[in-house]
Chain A
Amino acid sequence: MDFSFSDEQQMLLDSTRRLLTDNYSVQQRRQIISSPEGYSRSIWRQFSELGLLGLNIPAEEGGLEGGAISTLLVCVAMGEALIVEPYMSSAVMATRAIAKLSSSAQRSEWLPRLNSGTVIAVLAHDQTNGAAAQAVFDDTVAARSQNAWRLQGRKAIVYHAPLADVLLISAKLDAASGTGTGLFAVPRDAPGLRLEAFTTVDGQRAADIVLENVEVPDHARIGGDVSATLPMVLDYGAAALCSEAIGVLDKLFSMTVEYCRARVQFGQPIGRFQALQHRMAEMLMHLEQARSMAYLAAFWCESEEASRRAAVLSGAKVIIGRAARFVGQQAIQLHGGMGMTDELMVGHYFKRLLAFEVRFGSTESHLQEYAARFLEPDRDGL
């Protein structure tokens, strides 16, 4: 076992942190959220200059090819800064989908532009990652017609869809056209494609997607039947989301400890009260358990061993989800009235954690997924 990061990885983390400390103040973040676009193009360009957008692009295509551990570290930094840019959606998930599933022609069509930040792509799949089993609509179907595909249906709550230039839309093939699931690159302004956009509870842009007879050419289809391959991309995304949550938890926790050191009531810092000391000790324990699972998730998320990979990711969602709830709630509680305000960042970190709990399958649904594994005979540990 080796828990250390390479010098290269550490440098990547440091430079990402530096970039965000210098360019992503609370004030700047507020302005970005209330801007019409809902994200900062200039930050996006800087991500590209630092190579962050190419972290999941193979070296032969001009990327850094950092893999899961580097992505983990960058996402932690993104979480600390509570960014609203589509890093996870575009640079991690969609980029990974194209890099792993598409033809070499498609790779050279998209990857350089994703790397340079001129194109933002968003994967529009079942946002519950299959695990939630929650009845949010996803009834998209693809039908073959001559040399094109016709897409029909809806996708619910797709993060960053309003910012995307291209949407990677998954769709069940209709009976006449074949079997399995297809993935299609659809320009956001394609005729028949409509977005119903909104802002999410954690300050990001998202949309429901409505597809009415959207036609895309043959070469817009990425990969063949992606039923078996798409889950790998999603698990990779889930692991990235877990790392982001660690950044959020870290920051929220240290903000709370700082506050308890500084806030004086009854003639002493409230951090002196044993009741609060114990609470913070519990928060720390949650945080460390969460960190362990985020590491484990990053380590396993590229594995071809599907069932083990899924178990680790479910476990991570459960442990980090529980931590998110406890640490989030207690951070507000320990800040007293100040924790309830929009002015302090506490509430904003709290809301990002709330979103974490339900994205990519809720804590409860992952617990049940994990529990179902005990039905298999003679399983031992992870």
Chain B
Amino acid sequence: MYLNYTTEQNRFREQVRLFLRANLPEDIRDRSLNGEERVAEDIRRWQRILHAQGWGAASWPKEFGGTGWSPIERYLFDLECALAGAPPQLPFGLKMVAPVLMRFGNPRQQQYFLPRILSGEHWWCQGYSEPGAGSDLASLKTRAVRDGDYYVVTGQKAWNTLGQNADWIFCLVRTDPSAKPQRGISFLLIDMRAPGITVKPTTLLDGTQEVNEIWFDNVRVPVANRVGEENQGWTYAKYLLGHERANIASVGTSRRQLRQLQRIAATQLRHGVPLLREPRFRARLAQLDIELTAFEITTLRVIAADENKAAPGPEASILKIKATEILQQISELMLDAIGIQALPFSAAVPPSSVPRSEWQHLSRITAQYLNFRKLSIYGGSNEIQKNIIAHLILDL
């Protein structure tokens, strides 16, 4: 056993750092470090910059234009990007639909879509959940009826993240209503500009609009845009979910947030003393730091064990739960650090009552605390992940 990075891995890490220092635009970094609402154009620009370097898709194999990096190198890349304040790369194309296309798509689909995901030309979104089908995804009702070379799609998807910017959506649709729920589902790629699609934003409790309802009204989708076999979509869907969960585990983001928390605690005073010097607060900070260290090693163990596997196993559920718990705890501690200053808040109020700049800065911490409640709900709720651990790992 050797629990440190090798010389080559450290050299690789240094190379990534140098690249980030030279190429991550300051304005993008500042917006991201200040926790400002994600700007779509920042995500697009950053993807183009990475692509120009040949690093557009760290996790892809070389044959599809990826880096061919080892899992540890990929991990280090993600870690350094997050620490440097790079915006997260959009996962829906790169880390969700792409692995499905590589494994189950036909060469035509691979040749058309993968390069456009890589370059950032196509913005993808995920059309899995429906109002009636969240945790119980297999009960989804959006219908696709075959009509010659087309499917005619009708139904409603919910909670679609950033679909307002999307060019394409990958959807689970029901193609055989008479079969058992899991057996009658197909996986379709749908052009967001197709006639009959309506995108309606959902306002969240922090006042932002990062998710949407998407309505399909007799949308015609070429059969050529079905991935794999008809009615086999559930297999592909589950393959993708494993990737989604493994992807939520971001040690780098937590590390960066923890650093930010430390800075906040150094400036917030209690009884005239910086909070960072207050023993109880410092102990909570320490507890989180230790937790994150353990989680970093757990993540690396899972990554190393998965090295030779095609898809992440049920251990991804452990990572998803722990990653989101840590991030939620950090955001809670930030909230506690600013205390009463969490109260002034500007979201969704008449324009006359915008808080002063001093509060505005801190109100982002409140907003993040509100927004981060989603982490234990999406990507399969943490209760569902525990069910998976109990069934698939413990065989209970």
Q: Is B298 an interface residue (CB 8 A)?
A: no
Complex Cα gap A218–B158 (Å): 63
Q: Among the listed stretches A17-25, A127-135, A142-150, A229-237, which one makes contact with chain B, having 4 or more residues with CB under 8 Å of it?
A: A127-135
B280 touches A201 (CB 8 A): no
Complex Cα gap A267–B133 (Å): 11
B346 touches A359 (CB 8 A): no
B340 touches A359 (CB 8 A): yes
Q: Give the residue among B349, B374, B386 with the most A Cβ atoms within 10 A.
A: B349
B345 touches A199 (CB 8 A): yes
Nearest CB of chain A from residue B386's CB, rounded to whole Å: 7
**Which one, A33, A275, A350, A358, contacts B340 given CB within 8 A?**
A358
Q: Among the listed stretches B9-17, B115-123, B134-142, B286-294, which one makes contact with chain A, having 4 or more residues with CB under 8 Å of it?
A: B134-142
B340 touches A198 (CB 8 A): no
A135 touches B270 (CB 8 A): yes
For window 316-370 of A, CB contacts with B under 8 Å fall at 325, 329, 332-333, 336-337, 339-343, 347-348, 350-351, 354-355, 358-359, 362, 364-365, 368
Q: Is A265 an interface residue (CB 8 A)?
A: yes
B342 touches A358 (CB 8 A): yes
Interface string of B332-343 (1 = CB under 8 A from A): 100110011111
Q: Is B381 an interface residue (CB 8 A)?
A: yes
Beyond A201-B343, A354-B370, A365-B270, 14 extra complex contacts between A and B, CB < 8 Å: A134-B341, A136-B339, A157-B340, A157-B341, A199-B349, A199-B353, A205-B353, A264-B132, A275-B387, A337-B129, A340-B374, A343-B203, A348-B205, A354-B366
Q: Is B40 an interface residue (CB 8 A)?
A: no
**Which one, B204, B270, B343, contacts A358 given CB within 8 A?**
B343
Q: Is B373 an interface residue (CB 8 A)?
A: yes
Interface string of A275-286 (1 = CB under 8 A from B): 110000000000
B350 touches A336 (CB 8 A): no
Return chain A residues, CB-CB under 8 Å to B207. 342
| With A135-B270, A342-B205 as contacts: A337 and B343 at CB distance below 8 Å | no
Return chain B residues, CB-CB under 8 Å to A351. 205, 370
B158 — nearest CB in chain A belongs to which residue?
Answer: A337
Q: Is A307 an interface residue (CB 8 A)?
A: no
Complex Cα gap A270–B136 (Å): 10
Complex Cα gap A368–B339 (Å): 15
Nearest CB of chain A from residue B216's CB, rounded to whole Å: 19
For window 198-223 of A, CB contacts with B under 8 Å fall at 198-202, 205-206, 208
Q: Is A266 an interface residue (CB 8 A)?
A: yes
A-B contact count (CB 8 A): 154
Q: Give the residue among B280, B355, B376 with the most A Cβ atoms within 10 A.
A: B355
| With A208-B356, A342-B207, A362-B340 as contacts: A337 and B134 at CB distance below 8 Å | yes
A355 — nearest CB in chain B belongs to which residue?
Answer: B343
Return chain B residues, CB-CB under 8 Å to A265. 134-136, 139
Return chain B residues, CB-CB under 8 Å to A33. 349
Closest 4 CB pairs of A and B: A347-B205, A199-B349, A135-B269, A201-B345
B205 touches A350 (CB 8 A): yes
A198 touches B354 (CB 8 A): yes
Q: Is B305 an interface residue (CB 8 A)?
A: no
Interface string of B265-289 (1 = CB under 8 A from A): 0001111100000001100000000
A200 touches B345 (CB 8 A): yes
Q: Is A296 an interface residue (CB 8 A)?
A: no
Q: Is B5 an interface residue (CB 8 A)?
A: no
A342 touches B135 (CB 8 A): no
**Which one, A38, A134, A201, A339, contacts B366 given CB within 8 A?**
A201
Q: Is B159 an interface residue (CB 8 A)?
A: yes
Which residues in A have some Cβ–Cβ distance to B below 8 Å?
A: 33-34, 36, 38, 127-128, 132-136, 156-157, 162, 196-202, 205-206, 208, 264-267, 270, 273, 275-276, 325, 329, 332-333, 336-337, 339-343, 347-348, 350-351, 354-355, 358-359, 362, 364-365, 368
Nearest CB of chain A from residue B376's CB, rounded to whole Å: 6
Complex Cα gap A156–B134 (Å): 43
Q: Give the residue among A135, A202, A264, A347 with the most B Cβ atoms within 10 A.
A: A135
A33 — nearest CB in chain B belongs to which residue?
Answer: B349
**Which one, B340, B359, B374, contacts A127 given CB within 8 A?**
B340
Nearest CB of chain A from residue B220's CB, rounded to whole Å: 29
Which residues in B have some Cβ–Cβ distance to A below 8 Å?
A: 129, 132, 134-136, 139, 158-159, 202-205, 207, 211, 268-272, 280-281, 332, 335-336, 339-346, 348-350, 352-356, 359, 363, 366, 369-370, 373-374, 376-378, 381-383, 386-387
| With A340-B204, A364-B280 as contacts: A198 and B136 at CB distance below 8 Å | no
A276 touches B383 (CB 8 A): yes
A134 touches B269 (CB 8 A): yes
Complex Cα gap A254–B376 (Å): 22
Nearest CB of chain B from residue A208's CB, rounded to whole Å: 7
B203 touches A341 (CB 8 A): yes
Nearest CB of chain A from residue B206's CB, rounded to whole Å: 9
Complex Cα gap A325–B328 (Å): 13
A133 — nearest CB in chain B belongs to which residue?
Answer: B271
**Which one, B134, B204, B359, contacts A341 given CB within 8 A?**
B204
B335 — nearest CB in chain A belongs to which residue?
Answer: A354
| With A333-B373, A333-B381 as contacts: A157 and B343 at CB distance below 8 Å | yes
Nearest CB of chain B from residue A205's CB, rounded to whole Å: 7
B340 touches A197 (CB 8 A): no
Complex Cα gap A348–B204 (Å): 11
B343 touches A359 (CB 8 A): yes
B202 touches A341 (CB 8 A): yes
Q: Give the residue among B204, B207, B339, B352 with the most A Cβ atoms within 10 A.
A: B339
**Which one, A136, A200, A337, A358, contacts B377 given CB within 8 A?**
A337
Return chain A residues, CB-CB under 8 Å to B350. 34, 36, 199
Nearest CB of chain A from residue B196's CB, rounded to whole Å: 24
B272 — nearest CB in chain A belongs to which residue?
Answer: A135
A266 touches B136 (CB 8 A): yes
Complex Cα gap A202–B343 (Å): 8
| With A340-B373, A359-B340 as contacts: A266 and B135 at CB distance below 8 Å | yes
A132 touches B205 (CB 8 A): no
B204 touches A134 (CB 8 A): no
**9 residue pairs from A and B, CB less than 8 Å apart:** A157-B340, A199-B345, A266-B139, A340-B374, A354-B335, A359-B340, A362-B340, A364-B281, A368-B280
Return chain B residues, CB-CB under 8 Å to A134. 268-270, 339-341
| With A265-B136, A275-B386, A365-B270 as contacts: A196 and B336 at CB distance below 8 Å | no
Nearest CB of chain B from residue A256's CB, rounded to whole Å: 14
